[in-house]
Homo-oligomer: A and B are copies of this chain.
Amino acid sequence: MMKIGIDMMGGDFAPIEAIKGIQQYIQEAAQAAHLVLVGDEAQVNPLLGPLSLRADQYTMVHAPQVIDMHEHPTRALKEKQQSSIAIGFHLLATGKIDAFISAGNTGAMLVGALYSIKALEGVLRPTIAAIIPKENGATGLLLDVGLNSDCKPEHLNQFAVMGSVYAQNILGIENPRVALLNIGEEEGKGNILAQATYPLLKENTHIQFVGNAEGRDLLLDKADVMVCDGFTGNIILKLSESLFEITKSKNIRHDYLDRFDFENYGGTPVLGVSKPVIIGHGISKAKAFANKIRLAEKMIAKDVMQKLAAELVA
């Protein structure tokens, strides 16, 4: 049975919203995964009571320390070895869990993903991806969205493959169309990185490359997977998130705008590392936690990591 580790202390509304998310997940799952709850027993145990979880549905692992949202990632991970994030990655690295989820310190999660577990063979740079809601109802994938702020063409070329495998297995898109995010339509346009990446994508037989996508194509259905450097991707991601917040605060309501709510997607998967790691938004609530668990479950069940590694070395 698969085992999914959850950082109970990560995020602005932990542990209570994590607990509620677990409840949602268990109630709605046909066959729930075994959950490994990592956190401070004194805070978590009293909240578990009302859930009436069966003893075989979960394991509690005590972690007396917490890495705060604004701590320096590397330093915090090193100094707080009894923190929920450090213990979670230890469980992942030693095979005690098959995936690890947290809505805590993003930097610490990334450092943990890169150094506690390893990049898969053949992966130059692990990456993180975000869902882009297309205006026609389709779902797109944008990567990298912040793990690799400076990229080389061969990195983007791998992101394209990893994004394709993810889109196929997790988003259910057969033969996903891959585009290079760029500032012009034709080959030869763009900055030095984009110009050098285009020919690599064009010749890559592991993907279905459809050319450049401009900023105006991001929300249109031109491509399923769009690749860019993590600087550009992160700015797009955060702009999109803020747009959702702004329309909500101004009471501008529409089904399409609701699709920009990150709670729908749960979290950002780290791709290219040996096991699934899902990083949640700091303001994750119950729905986001439940969706993160479902995403981890799907990534384990579909064996996404091994599949993308296979595509990269083939």
Binding site for B on A (CB under 8 A): 135, 146, 149-150, 181, 183, 190-192, 194, 214-220, 228-232, 234-243, 245-247, 249-250, 252, 254, 256-257
Contacts and interface: CB of A to CB of B under 8 A. Distances in A.
A230 B183 contact: yes
A215 B229 contact: no
B216 A238 contact: yes
B254 A242 contact: no
Nearest to A241: B216
A159 to B, nearest CB: 16
Q: How many copies does the complex hold?
A: 2
A235 B235 CA distance: 10
A191 B254 contact: no
Given A252-B254, A256-B250, A215 B234 contact: yes
Contacts of A150: 191-192
A191 B242 contact: no
Nearest to A214: B238
Nearest to A135: B246
A216 B242 contact: yes
A245 B135 CA distance: 11
Nearest to A242: B216
